[in-house]
Amino acid sequence: MDRFDTMRVFTRIVDLGSFSRAGDELGIPRATVSHALRQLEARLGTQLLIRTTRSVRTTPDGQAYYTRCQRLLADLEETESVFSHAAAQPRGSLRIDLSGPLGTAVIVPALADFRARYPLLELDIGASDRYVDLVHEGVDCVVRGGEQADSGLIARRLAVLSQVTCVSAGYVEQHGMPQALDELTAHQAVVWRSPTSGRAQPLDFTVGGELRIIDVPGAVTVNSGDIYAASCRAGFGMIQLPRYNVAADLAAGRLLEVLPQYPPPPMPVSVMYPAQRQLSPRVRVFVDWLVELMADLR
């Protein structure tokens, strides 16, 4: 194992906080990871990591060395990409995490095109709406809807999606259709609980260009986009989500639009990845493909 390989092992131990997880990601045994770390510390003449049964953390020297390793490895990857075919035909594993409904309805059905363009890439796909720590979980990028908090990640806007308030036809038969915003509190909603903050979200409406927020009660609370839509179809109350996700239900009359004159604000969709001086070819081609894929999605 050369010095750059040893640096990669060390940085992944720090990023993932685990010898075994670093070995799993790099495809090497845990014993090899431990041996490489011991050799590195012996060569440098200093302790880099403090290991306990539950955690791994850097010493002051380890943190300083980690910072320098990140810089050197980024420079190495940038240099190699310039003088190789990696930029045109990247290879290796690409770990992505997709928002459930967007992944199911839009991205995954189109992935055959991406694989045809980049056959040397292997895709490791997760689907969730939760916060993902990209560095510590070893994820290359995530696709999320909504305004994104300042997380230190690069966020590239993919689309701005129109949203709809809707309810099932069965619900309307039983409870009637709201005719005004002031009637909503007498109805039921499927309550969306943010997987990131854990807070229940109210319903949002645009009235004369201004945002109006209304807390509509509900007996069912969810934090999964797929279950959110399924709960509405099952008659538990109204929801708000991008129109593309329920377009077929609306066209078939299974779901009905509520107060279309007061639509929810549109939802931005972004792909996010760690801030680096040089974006890896694997991530760059996937991000560019997503931009192309979602250019006409509204």
Structure confidence by residue, pLDDT tens digits, 13-39: 988 888 988 888 888 998 999 999 999
pLDDT (0 to 100) of residue 195: 80
Q: What is the pLDDT of residue 150?
A: 58
Residue 218 near residue 193 (C-beta atoms within 8 A)? no
Query: With 60 as the cut, is the pLDDT of residue 86 above it?
Result: no
Confidence grade of residue 85 (pLDDT, cut at 50, 70, 90) = low
Check whether 214 has a pLDDT greater than 70.
yes
pLDDT at position 93 over 90: no
Residues 274 and 135 sit within 8 Å (Cβ to Cβ): yes
Report the C-alpha gap between 86 and 91 in whole angstroms.
7
The band of 258, judged by pLDDT with boundaries at 50, 70 and 90, is very high
- According to CATH, the superfamily of the domain at 163-265 is Periplasmic binding protein-like II (3.40.190.10)
For residue 185, the model assigns a pLDDT of 94
pLDDT confidence of residue 58? 92
Same fold, 92-160+268-293 and 163-265: yes
Phi, psi at residue 282, to the nearest 5°?
-60, -50
Reported as a pLDDT band with limits 50, 70 and 90, residue 47 is very high
Residue with the larger pLDDT of the pair 100 and 221 = 221
- 237-261 burial by CB neighbour count: b if 16+ within 10 A, else e? bbbbbbbbbbeebeeeeebbebbee
Please check whether residue 235 is in contact with residue 168, taking contact to mean a CB–CB distance below 8 angstroms: yes
Q: How far apart are CA 111 and CA 104, in angstroms?
A: 11
Fold entry, domain 3-82: Arc Repressor Mutant, subunit A (1.10.10)
Q: Work out the average pLDDT over 120-125.
A: 89
Residue 238 has a pLDDT of: 97
* Alpha carbons 180 and 79: distance in angstroms, whole number: 61
Out of 3.60.70.12, 2.40.170.20, 1.10.10.60, 3.40.190.10, the CATH code matching 92-160+268-293 is 3.40.190.10
Average pLDDT along the chain = 88
Domain ranges within the chain, ordered by starting residue: 3-82, 92-160+268-293, 163-265
Q: Read off the pLDDT of residues 140-191 as tens digits, 9 standing for 90 and up.
A: 899 988 876 656 788 899 999 999 999 999 999 999 999 999 999 999 999 9
Containing 142, the helix (H) or strand (E) segment is strand 141-145
pLDDT of 89 strictly over 60: yes
pLDDT of residue 79: 66
pLDDT at position 87 is 54
